[in-house]
Structure 1
Amino acid sequence: MIRLALVPLDDRPVCRVLPAMVAAVAGAAVDTPPAALLPAGRRPGDPDRLADWLRSTSAEAAVVALETLGHGGLIASRLHHEPVPVVLDRWAALRDVAGPVHAATVVQRTPDADDAGEEPDYWATYGRALHAYSADLHRLLDGAGARPSTDVPAPVRQDFLRRRQRNHVLNQVALSLAAEGVLDTLVVGADDTAPAAVGTAEWRWLRAWTGWLELGDRVLAHPGADEIGAVLVARTLTSAAGHRPRVAIACAEPDGLRRVARYEPVPIGAGVASQAAAAGADLVDGAAAEAVLVVHAPQPVDADWATAPPVDTDPAPVARTAALVRRLLADGHTVALADCALGNGADPRLVADLAADGALARLAAFAGWNTAGNTLGSALATLVAYQVGRAHGTLDPAAARRLLAHRLVDDHLYMSYARPRLRRERGTDPTRHDHVPAAETPAVTARIVELLDRRWRELRPVPGLAAPRSVSLPWQRTYEIDFALEETGGQP
């Protein structure tokens, strides 16, 4: 197939490893910079050496996170004060890449939490107030609100908005690079936002300029961030193979695609349409489709597997989604499942239901992590890679099976099963990012392995693979884990 160069948002597995796993499904390979050059948590990467690495790559195409190339990472783009010209000097490396460049940029988020784990330090005190202030500014812009009043001190407000204004200017420059042809594709992600927020206004302005510049499907804008690397890898595969998979979207809830998921500003149907275009797929009616993405619709409850884990989930929509998946599989369709029911983890009822008779193992792809945009993008990317590999004769069924199992472990076994239990045991405040001291890491990771193994043995979702025997905490917190699955030698 093809070898790609990837400059990821940071060193988290979903940004660094997932794109390579998606590529492997279609028989392709991904090169990434040396780990020392990549950002990790609040430690920035080395953008100047990353620019040198990108210039020197011999890969046939490149997928680039512009925040990493320009600032040293997504979090660095929120924390640093580097002026626009410095960032643009680093972006000049994009002109020196021999093959096509597929890039991503992110509209800066405004999280609704008093948590400075990934934000400037003042967020620990004024995070929620800044989120409310941001929403009021947007409403005032639309003529739907009074002039905002807030207790946030003026220096904090000014710093907050100056950072945003700089990043918005850079996002406008990214549009110019796409219009000029330096970028073959640009995805503008909306990271952790809401219907009313300054970031939502910025994102809509960028979408308007995309239309005015007549950039067509070369510039896509939709909710998401961490999944964009995988999505652009899929798009690169479609270009290399000369095949755009025809995908249908199915949802068991009549109004499901019109619902707005938590952390997002638009209905989920709008997000999936843009994600599909970004991944290089054509959305078609069921009769013309070669594959189907089933969406488990956002549920109208105030719950989240990371910040407010529910005791249980509603069995009725689970039963309808499971029945739809089984019907499509029985009719011979290639099926992927995007579980968007709740944020930050997969629906345990749905996973258990489909695992009971082996339907889960027959999926081409599965995702149910973090935001709906993250879930939809990674599920579509995997489905596209699967269909490209099939059409091109390079499909690696073993790689597809490993990626399916990997997402099940991450999205359900950890996020919606082990993590809530672990945090209750540790007395962790789920509304804030925690920190696991080095001295406690062995005990914490051993407990995670125990919980993952227990749940895997209950479900046995993918034959031939077992839960990991060891895990690590990439950023020394319980929010995410890294792991490698164990091969058991059984038949797939």
Structure 2
Amino acid sequence: MLVQGTEHKIDRPPLSMMGQKKTPGDWEQLWTWLEEKIETADGAVIALDTLLYGGIIPSRLHYFSETVLLERLNRLRKIKEKRPELKLLAFQLIMRCPQYSISDEEPDYYADWGREIFRKGYIDHRKELNIVAPEELEELSDINSRLPDEVLNDYLGRRKINMEANKAVLELVKDGTIEFLIFPQDDSAPYGYTAKDQQVARQRIGELDLELKAYMYPGADEVGCTLMARLINEWKGVQPLVYPRLSSIQGAFVTPVYEDRFFYETLKYQITAAGALIASSAAEADLILLASTPGETMMEAVSQEHPFFSYDVYRNLMELVEYGSYLLKQGKAVAVADVGYANGADLKLVKMLRQKGMLFQLAGYAAWNTSSNSLGTVISQALLYTHYGRTQEHLDFLSLRYAEDAGYCAIVRKELNAGLVDQMGYNKFLLDGPRGEVASYVRARLAEVLEEKINGSEGKVTITDCYMPWNRTFEVGLKVKYTQE
């Protein structure tokens, strides 16, 4: 994303250059576009995985040499040399290692060997640390006897090349080409190949004295938003103060699923990475962030009809909503990080926000995918709200979050995966195209859900487009419009 002018106009590459799931984007066209457009830009947020590999998923599939990747990175140096006043912020993932045998976003052999690859890395790491259990050694021996050498060599070879690219990017931060860098952690685990690569990156960050310029914390898909908020805060010359209020005392110490640390530690990273700081009180804060955390162990949103005991007893949603309503009446900017469940909204919380007339008064809301995906999204939106206010674009984005996070992720997707797509003759990984029968059903059903759960005297969300971008049920493509009744 490129940003220019006092009004901070944003420019992005055309979709025709971008990749589609396992199909990489055209990196040469993308580089050419960047080099041409950057001439009139004031700054840029750069997804390095896209420029190097053609996308995040292609970064797990490519056969580029280290030499090729370093040559591509050097083009950033040339851009900075030509325009030294440019602010370049970037992010680059450390290659993940999922715990399951599914090849939907991994090499084809991951369908047969994914679990074994993860467990081998996990147990080998624990063995190196002398904390391995006897039964794990037995499992490791069994995996080693079955896992084909060509599979492991392909996987580890690509990891090694990608890690060299990660280290090379840190050199760009050191020499000032990149002003600020985030290594987001996708599907984190405390042990394994990814955890070991993260240790290598952390060590290199320390060696280069880059602790304040290169962050590493859980997240991935939201990081472009985070860096955009940071860029605008820098241009505005401010560090907004954010006061977090949690629904549970223990919520700060919950480790969200797909992540590797306590919630509050990641929250501090997310706020600071966006160019803000944590406030010590609501009175001094520019923004209040209401975080609906789990009371103890995090569940998936699809299971919330039968929540763990701790969801009802170890947290207090009522107080959180009443507190937010009170602050809104005092003129405070209030946002909601709905991170009680993974992969979807807490429908009880959404109901309460609607009852209090808060849905479209908020500075931000998010409840999609992982806890960090939601945190980074809502923090970024809310920080932009402190600068630009309650614009139509803001209300449309709020509407999109309610449609996608609450309507689709928490309700409609659950219905699809519970047997509906099977009855239609498809499966959740292979539908009938982006705009087929399934997409038509989703649009109609989602409109019903919005009418039931979201729309009211406060405002109405209308779907203007609906499609299934990756021909599977996990994500939905939506365009929506907010209107006031």
Q: Structure 1 length normalisation: TM-score?
A: 0.87
Cα distance in 2 for partners of 1:367, 1:376 equals 7
Superposed, 1:59-458 pairs within 5 Å as 59-95=41-77, 96-97=79-80, 98=83, 99-145=86-132, 148-149=140-141, 150=143, 151-286=146-281, 287-298=283-294, 300-301=296-297, 303-305=299-301, 309-313=303-307, 316=312, 320-331=316-327, 332=330, 333-387=332-386, 389=387, 394-424=388-418, 425-427=420-422, 434-438=429-433, 441-458=435-452
One-letter amino acid matched to 2:345: A
Give CA-to-partner distance per residue, 1:87-138, whole Å, 9 cap, x none.
1222223220531110001011111222111100110011122222221122
Post-superposition shift, 1:483?
Answer: 1.6
One-letter amino acid matched to 1:443: E
2:27 aligned to which of 44, 47, 59: 47
Q: Which residue of 1 aligns with 2:453?
A: 459
1:5 aligned to which of 2, 6, 16: 2
Instruction: Give yes or no for contact 1:234–1:381 (8 Å, CA) kept in 2.
Output: yes
Q: Which residue of 2 aligns with 1:15?
A: none
Instruction: Give yes or no for contact 2:57–2:106 (8 Å, CA) kept in 1.
Output: yes
Post-superposition shift, 1:323?
Answer: 2.0
Change (3 A) 1:72 1:427: same
Give CA-to-partner distance per residue, 1:412-459, whole Å, 9 cap, x none.
10001111112221239xxx9601123x94321121112211111112
Note the aligned Cα RMSD (angstroms): 2.3
Post-superposition shift, 1:79?
Answer: 0.1
Superposed, 1:453-492 pairs within 5 Å as 453-461=447-455, 463-488=458-483, 490=484
Cα distance in 2 for partners of 1:410, 1:367 equals 9
The DSSP-based 3-state class of the residue aligned with 1:260 is coil
Cα distance in 1 for partners of 2:93, 2:46 equals 12
Give CA-to-partner distance per residue, 1:171-221, whole Å, 9 cap, x none.
111111111111011000111122222212222332333234222432111
Q: Which residue of 2 aligns with 1:9?
A: none
Cα distance in 2 for partners of 1:139, 1:88 equals 32
The DSSP-based 3-state class of the residue aligned with 1:324 is helix
Change (3 A) 1:157 1:433: farther
One-letter amino acid matched to 1:446: S
Post-superposition shift, 1:339?
Answer: 1.6
The DSSP-based 3-state class of the residue aligned with 1:361 is coil
Q: Which residue of 2 aligns with 1:16?
A: none
Q: Structure 1 stretch 323-332 or stretch 45-54: which is displaced more?
A: 323-332
Instruction: Give yes or no for contact 2:257–2:370 (8 Å, CA) kept in 1.
Output: yes
Cα distance in 2 for partners of 1:356, 1:312 equals 22
The DSSP-based 3-state class of the residue aligned with 2:50 is helix
Change (3 A) 1:318 1:256: closer
The DSSP-based 3-state class of the residue aligned with 1:288 is coil
1:38 aligned to which of 18, 40, 44: 18
Q: Structure 1 stretch 125-134 or stretch 218-227: which is displaced more?
A: 125-134
Change (3 A) 1:460 1:328: closer
Cα distance in 2 for partners of 1:464, 1:453 equals 14
Change (3 A) 1:27 1:483: farther
The DSSP-based 3-state class of the residue aligned with 1:360 is coil
Structure 2: where are the runs of 5+ without partners? none
Change (3 A) 1:466 1:328: closer
The DSSP-based 3-state class of the residue aligned with 2:242 is strand
Change (3 A) 1:86 1:292: same
Q: Structure 1 stretch 162-171 or stretch 318-327: which is displaced more?
A: 318-327
Post-superposition shift, 1:261?
Answer: 0.6
Cα distance in 1 for partners of 2:389, 2:355 equals 27
Identity of aligned residues (%): 28
Change (3 A) 1:443 1:437: closer
Cα distance in 1 for partners of 2:60, 2:52 equals 12
One-letter amino acid matched to 1:270: E
Matched length? 458
The DSSP-based 3-state class of the residue aligned with 1:466 is strand
Instruction: Give yes or no for contact 1:220–1:277 (8 Å, CA) kept in 2.
Output: no
Post-superposition shift, 1:251?
Answer: 0.9
Post-superposition shift, 1:38?
Answer: 0.7
Give CA-to-partner distance per residue, 1:227-256, whole Å, 9 cap, x none.
011111101111111111111122121121
Q: Structure 1 stretch 143-152 or stretch 223-232: which is displaced more?
A: 143-152
Change (3 A) 1:486 1:402: closer
Post-superposition shift, 1:303?
Answer: 3.8
Cα distance in 2 for partners of 1:207, 1:229 equals 21
The DSSP-based 3-state class of the residue aligned with 1:415 is helix
One-letter amino acid matched to 1:116: S
Give CA-to-partner distance per residue, 1:348-402, whole Å, 9 cap, x none.
1111121122122221101111111111111111121112x1xxxx435222211
Larger radius of gyration: 2
Post-superposition shift, 1:269?
Answer: 1.2
Q: Structure 2 length normalisation: TM-score?
A: 0.89
